[in-house]
Structure 1
């Protein structure tokens, strides 16, 4: 959608997106960690394919959001910024 809207409305506004990777949240914690805090098999697989060797923290999204909302990115439109610790580099996405 970011690419489509950037093409459609490029004279009027900038349209970009962020693509968060794996972040531990209340919704997914039970899938990625055991009760003792160790990783589940699924969690281990994700971390094995994440060069930064960790799940993201919500604070990791702030920098890209601030940059995209600021004049520092005034000539940026139609992009998707992966914030995934390098996961997409390994997965071929």
Structure 2
């Protein structure tokens, strides 16, 4: 992301911003069967491990990405480029990933 931000600014337009959103563990239809027990609706052992290593103690919801995406697309972040914004409930800070 950092290299791409510098490259695009130099080659194309100084005002072009390149950023990324790094989602953590989100509950989606793609992974629901891995992290939630279908019968009980409670976390599976894998889900419990993920939640235990997430300071906010929950899985993310897709809607949790909206605020960061809107901010990065808005003028409020006009001087932000070359960053990766983690949206992971603190997982990356806590687990050492």
The TM-score by the shorter chain falls in which range?
A: over 0.9
Structure number, greater radius of gyration: 2
Residue pair 2:5, 2:81 contacting (<8 A) in 1 also? yes
**Aligned with residue 75 of structure 1, among 76, 79, 87:** 79
1:39 match? 43
**Aligned with residue 31 of structure 2, among 12, 16, 28:** 28
1:58 match? 62
Gaps of 5+ in 1: none
Runs of 4+ in 1 over 6 A off after TM superposition: none
Q: Deviations over 1:48-71 (max 9, x none)?
A: 010111111111101100110011
1:9: Cα distance to partner?
1.1
- TM-score, length-scaled by structure 1: 0.94
2:3 match? 4
Q: How far apart, CA to CA, are the structure 1 residues paired with 2:48 and 2:21?
A: 24
1:38: Cα distance to partner?
1.0
1:73: Cα distance to partner?
0.5
Q: Deviations over 1:25-68 (max 9, x none)?
A: 11100000111111111100000010111111111101100110
What is the aligned residue count? Answer: 92
